[in-house]
A = this chain, B = another copy of it.
Amino acid sequence: MFMTALRELELRHLVTLDAVATEGTFGRAAERLGYTQSAISQQIAALERLVGEKVFDRPGGPRPVELTPFGDVVLRHGRELLSRADSMHDELDRFRNGGVGRLTVGTFQSVSSAVLPSLVRSMRARHPDLEIRGRESPDDHELNRLLAAGEVDVSFIGGAPASGFECRHLLDDPFVLLAQPGRFPDGPVSVSDLVGEPMIGQPPHSCQLLNEGSLRAAGCDPTYVFRSEDNGTVAAMVRSGMGVAILPFLCLEIEDPRLAFHRLEPVLPPREITIAWRAGRTLSPAAEEFIELASDVCSGLAATMSAFT
């Protein structure tokens, strides 16, 4: 709760006080500030009315004015206020550029490992003073909640966002089959060949639901013998021969020789990776730029991916 006594104080008054104290006379201060002497006289009078005491002694005649001890106190505080206002102005400018502030991003595992590293590196390189934070959750609903609550400014989402959000499509992430090498011949595997195959998957949320739905639609009602949140665990289970897995491409460690991956036929509808924000809310320039950069990085990623699949 802020006081009421100086509510009518304007920065202009303090700028004038400073100018007069620096220049020594009302006239020169007027010249410096582009006012007339009369205006300065009236402004100082207004300031004195506001603070309740004379801030200058006017010796009269052709002698310059001089700060009173009281005026000196006002001036010292006034200069602090002005320099705070200046730094506010500077920071607003930098903020308009995306250069300062805090950007909190919602994300989930595969984006965190495949997209964020280079994206954050680019943002940091452009704006070293921007504070970038992340909140990771495997669950789209949770990410939507964080976004709605304003706990994150933007969030990657593995699918279409809930209503009340706007989003931008970044990437189609195809589902691929993960199996032991030799379990299937090289090349695409038909969904019908998976009927009855024990499967490893993630807990039933977000893209896992999408993928199970697609499989059923394609005529394969999968049986899950193991579910884990952790993609590494899923891969390990597949390596051990416990079953096969269908995962979005971005979840894979494609260099692992102990695993083979196959395209599926028919192709399942891919997981769509988007970045979302609250509808109607003004985004910070940093967030706007982040979205642009994310789009660029994902385009690059899409090109790399199409070389693999």
Contact = CB atoms under 8 A, between A and B. Distances in A.
A81 interface: yes
A80 interface: yes
A33 to B, nearest CB: 9
Contact of A280 (B7, B57, B88): B57
A6 B88 contact: yes
A164 to B, nearest CB: 10
A84 interface: yes
A54 B96 CA distance: 12
Number of copies: 2
Interface string A81-99: 1111111110110011000
A254 interface: no
A100 B10 CA distance: 25
Using C-beta atoms within 8 Å of the partner chain, give the interface range for chain A.
Answer: 35 or more
Contact of A57 (B89, B153, B281): B281
B82 A77 contact: no
Interface in A219-248: none
Contact of A86 (B3, B80, B87, B153): B3
Contacts of A8: 10-12
A287 interface: yes
Given A7-B12, A10-B11, 5 more contacts: A3-B85, A6-B85, A10-B10, A69-B101, A70-B92
14 contacts: A2-B18, A2-B86, A6-B85, A6-B86, A7-B12, A57-B282, A68-B284, A69-B284, A69-B286, A70-B282, A70-B284, A77-B84, A77-B88, A77-B92
A-B residue pairs, 8 tightest by C-beta: A69-B284, A77-B88, A68-B282, A10-B10, A2-B82, A3-B86, A9-B11, A6-B85
